[in-house]
Amino acid sequence: MGRKINLERPKKGPGRKARKQPEPVFQFSKGDDEDSNKKLSRHQIQRLKKREMLKQTQKEEKKTKKAAQNVAKAAAAPNTFDPSEIFNIEKSRQKYQQLGLKNKTPQSIASNGHQNGSAKKGLNLFDSDNEMEEDDDVGQRPGKKATQQVKKSQMKKFLQQAESEEESDSDEEDMEGSDVEEEEDEEGESIEGEDDDYEDEDVEEEMGDEEEDEDGEIDAEADSDEEVDDDEDEEEEDDDEEEEDEDDEDDGDMLPIEAANKKLKKRMAQEQKEADAEMAEAAVNRERFVFPTEEELAQTTSLMDVNMRIKDVVGVLSDFAANRDPNRSRCEYMDLLRKDLCMYYSYNDYFMGLLMDIFSPNELLEFLEASEIQRPVTIRTNSLKTRRRDLAQALINRGINLDPIGKWSKEGLVVYSSQVPLGATPEYLAGHYMLQGGCSMLPVMALAPEENERILDLCAAPGGKSSHIAALMKNTGVLFVNDSNKERLRAVLGNFHRLGIQNAVVTCVDGIKYGDIMKGFDRVLLDAPCTGSGVISKDPSVKATKTEIDVQRCYNLQRRLLLTAIDCLSASSSTGGYLVYSTCSVLPQENEWVIDYALKRRNVRLVPTGLDFGVEGMTSFGPYRFHPQMKLTRRYYPHTHNLDGFFVAKLQKFSDAIPKNVIDEPVEEELVEEEQDVKLPKKIKKTDWYYQDIIEERQAKKEDKDHVVTVFQKPTNVKKGPKKPKQKQANDADKESKGETKQSPVNGAQLKGGKSAVGSDGSKAEMQKQNPANGAKQKGGKPAVGGGSKVEMRDAEEALRLKKKLKQVQAQNGKGGAGQGKKNGVQKKVQGVKKGTLKTKVGKMRKAK
Ligand SMILES: C[S@@+](CC[C@H](N)C(=O)[O-])C[C@H]1O[C@@H](n2cnc3c(N)ncnc32)[C@H](O)[C@@H]1O
């Protein structure tokens, strides 16, 4: 091998290596120029021959040595830390950014696995893992490392943008006698074209490992720098040779490859030893953490100090017995940690407390950090219209940098960067893909819809998961898509038209009442509304705004929706009888607890989700013990999987009968939910269904004169008709209380979006039916707006009833004095309802009316 003579191929450009190392002059070579040899003396010719032989042997030695090193490196790679790889990644990343990929978020870098440990773990999920290659039937080695993925995506970009440079670079490299190039030449391979992005990893690896200088990244560097580099390289090589010589003496008859391996191991052991010594020294020199006094705490002004203290306290808690201050309890440390975390990451105390109940201090830090970073953008191929391979090709052609999302999905793609908005590409508009978080694909995969089934998605807007279901059903069967929010359903319609979904029926009904409309589904998906504690990176307002009442509202609603969803399912379905429950929350209150509640009240059992990754669900939480099968459920965390926090459970219904000795109301002790006017935050996202619902309700209340605002409001536009006979009235009232009457401005009025209001007859029974646990609630578990407090309402109802009775008694008195005793009794009762307050309350309500 060695340097090649290139007399015939013309040089295409002034490559740096060409300048650095001019083409060798062979004026003394034997065969080429006999005349010139003749001019030399005999001694000169002998010296020349000697020199050439020496050069030749040196080159060969060098080459063997390099080959041995490479083999040793490759052998050691899976278990060892290779600084050159880190260097490579970093360099690639810089180059990547230079290429105009400034929008690349830190998270997307993390997804490549070279930011932190958690990201490395998450890498598995966004690793291309030869998915594309598998699709394409291109043979590849399985199981890549983070660095390889980075290289691959970088290479993709490089090769597209620097295609013109490719040839000249390779020529120059040929000139230098690069081993890599030579090997490539020998094998007749080249690294051109997009398809190669998914191939030739071996070549990429070699390029990374062996010839970092030759990847064309530092062409712009000054010649002087190159010279310095080269000098350094030479020095290093000299050192290596010296060491090798020493080793050679010891190693006697070892093969060069074995000797090189031994040397490498020795060097690594030495480095490890030094690192350990440094760590030990640092640990000794580090000051012991002293619990701060009240004054010190009050004086803390900088977030840096808070951060330092957080780390110190976490350090103490990780080995409490050894590191603690004997005068301080664990509780005190935990309190300090909670306060600091709240301050540093801007959480409210309650919400941070919830998270501290779930995670250990170390893991909590990882979770909080990961929740500050955006997850990688992911898209799902719409298999109704295209194949992932074709979509990827089309998007790459538009300058979008992407990879398959991972082994676990056949449709997902992770997008590292894009020059064009992903929601406006021709492919998007043509419905070839859906913008969808990676974790959103999991519940549908667990549901495993089949063709020709009847499937219900109870809380479907904006339709990401429903459209996935429709695609897996291949537009056959019927998909019922429901959501209680009319505005959000518009997005569903838009998406369905774009994606070409034709087997869907879209409804806008309160999910709790869906069972009254339709039942007997083969499969049901309940992607329940939740606190969003798993998607803090998308909506950071969750950190500061969620309160105890919010959490309770969510799990109450989730429980009721889950029971309805189970009731809608058919246990006798020939293909299924399966239900998937999911939330984008990490709180056990909204996940395991809800599932446990349903397991006790319906004939369902937990079955495996079929998802081959994720953390097992909790079988206990604080004082609560859940069903042992709960470990079949799956949890996903941003810090572990680089996905949004998520929960997936799969249930199978084995009987349609409802167990007799259970009641639907929550049996656990609940908070008394106070009726309160929900304060709206200053900025409300359009996607925030919770606040959007409140705004919508308030708006409707303002606009709709027939809307039942208070229990005493009289119907405004009900035509007076002939009085119904008593029996008929009773029947109607019964019907209304069962929710059969569709629209009545007064009683049991259906509010916009299928919500029901408290009946004007104010029957307590009806109110309790609305919300057995905590008083009247509407869609989303929110309190009925505008009805005053529960106590007020009850008093007012009682007062009205008694007043009516009083009038009757008075009328009877007018006819005769026999009712006097009765009248006194009723009057006493009226006074007894709420001493002193009744009059004013009734007065106020009248005024309001
Ligand atoms: C987590 S989102 C669903 C996301 C959807 N599955 C997707 O993948 O695009 C929860 C949805 O539940 C809806 N929702 C809230 N309360 C509901 C209720 N009582 N009945 C039906 N839907 C409800 C909200 O409007 C919201 O769209």
Residue-wise pLDDT for 718-732, tens only, equals 444 444 444 444 444
Percent of the chain with pLDDT over 70: 54
Asked whether 440 lines ligand 1 (CB < 6 A), one says yes
Angle at CA of residue 663, ends 661 and 667, nearest 5°: 115
Asked whether 122 lines ligand 1 (CB < 6 A), one says no
Q: Are 710 and 506 in contact (CB under 8 A)?
A: no
Residues 6+ apart with CB under 8 A from 470: 384, 479, 496, 499, 501, 503, 504
> Which residue among 444, 483, 580, 647 is best mutated to probe the pocket of ligand 1, counting the most ligand atoms within 8 A of its Cβ?
483
Distance 529 CA to ligand 1 centre (A): 5
d(CA 84, CA 526): 48
The whole-angstrom distance between residue 590's C-alpha and the CA centroid of its chain comes to 17
d(CA 448, CA 443): 9
Ligand 1 atom at minimal distance to the Cα of residue 458: 21
Residue with the nearest Cα to atom 12 of ligand 1? 459
463 among annotated binding-site residues: yes
Return the SS3 of 502.
Answer: coil
> Which residue among 484, 496, 558, 696 is best mutated to probe the pocket of ligand 1, counting the most ligand atoms within 8 A of its Cβ?
484
Return the SS3 of 178.
Answer: coil
The residue to which tokens 């989730």 are assigned: 558
pLDDT > 60? residue 747: no
| Mean local confidence (pLDDT), 824-841 | 52
464 among annotated binding-site residues: yes
d(CA 781, CA 560): 10
What would the pLDDT profile of 241-299 be if each residue is shown by its tens digit?
Answer: 555 555 555 556 777 788 888 889 999 999 999 988 887 777 666 678 889 988 888 88
Please tell me the least confidently modeled range out of 42-56, 235-249, 290-304, 767-781. Answer: 767-781
Residue with the nearest Cα to atom 20 of ligand 1? 511
**Residue bearing the bigger pLDDT, 46 or 830:** 46
Provide the pLDDT for residue 796. 67
| Mean local confidence (pLDDT), 363-381 | 96
Asked whether 512 lines ligand 1 (CB < 6 A), one says yes
Asked whether 508 lines ligand 1 (CB < 6 A), one says no
Ligand 1 atom at minimal distance to the Cα of residue 584: 1
Ligand 1 atom at minimal distance to the Cα of residue 461: 27
Domain boundaries, the chain: 295-371, 436-653
What would the pLDDT profile of 543-580 be if each residue is shown by its tens digit?
Answer: 999 999 999 999 999 999 999 999 999 999 999 899 99
Asked whether 529 lines ligand 1 (CB < 6 A), one says yes
d(CA 354, CA 371): 15
The Cβ-side half-sphere exposure at 303, using a 13 Å CA radius, reads 6
For residue 709, CA distances in Å to 676, 691, 714, 757 come to 15, 19, 10, 9
pLDDT > 80? residue 794: no
Handedness of CA 692, 697, 700, 701 (dihedral sign): negative
- What would the DSSP string read from start to end of 396-414? HHTT-EEEE--TT-SSEEE
What would the pLDDT profile of 16-36 be if each residue is shown by its tens digit?
Answer: 444 555 555 554 444 444 444
Q: Are 610 and 666 in contact (CB under 8 A)?
A: no
What would the pLDDT profile of 647-661 be if each residue is shown by its tens digit?
Answer: 999 999 999 999 877
462 among annotated binding-site residues: yes
Residue of 439, 530, 554, 584 with catalytic role? 584
**Residue bearing the bigger pLDDT, 299 or 105:** 299
Helices 223-251, 42-76: inter-axial angle, 10-degree rounding? 80
Helix H or strand E segment including 823: helix 820-833
Asked whether 532 lines ligand 1 (CB < 6 A), one says no
Is 342 catalytic? The answer is no
Provide the pLDDT for residue 46. 83
269 among annotated binding-site residues: no
Distance 542 CA to ligand 1 centre (A): 17
Provide the pLDDT for residue 194. 35
461 among annotated binding-site residues: yes
Beta strand 604-607 with 615-616 is unpaired
Distance 745 CA to ligand 1 centre (A): 27
Provide the pLDDT for residue 494. 97
Ligand 1 atom at minimal distance to the Cα of residue 689: 25
Provide the pLDDT for residue 363. 97
Asked whether 467 lines ligand 1 (CB < 6 A), one says no
What would the pLDDT profile of 452-499 be if each residue is shown by its tens digit?
Answer: 999 999 999 999 999 999 999 999 999 999 999 999 999 999 999 999
Q: Are 578 and 531 in contact (CB under 8 A)?
A: no
Omega prior to 783 cis, within 30 of 0? no
Give 436-653's CATH code, choosing from 3.30.420.40, 3.40.50.10090, 3.40.50.150, 3.40.50.1100.
3.40.50.150
Asked whether 463 lines ligand 1 (CB < 6 A), one says yes
Ligand 1 atom at minimal distance to the Cα of residue 779: 19
Asked whether 461 lines ligand 1 (CB < 6 A), one says yes
H-only helix segments in 29-129: 34-39, 42-76, 83-98, 106-111, 117-126
Distance 461 CA to ligand 1 centre (A): 6
Asked whether 689 lines ligand 1 (CB < 6 A), one says yes
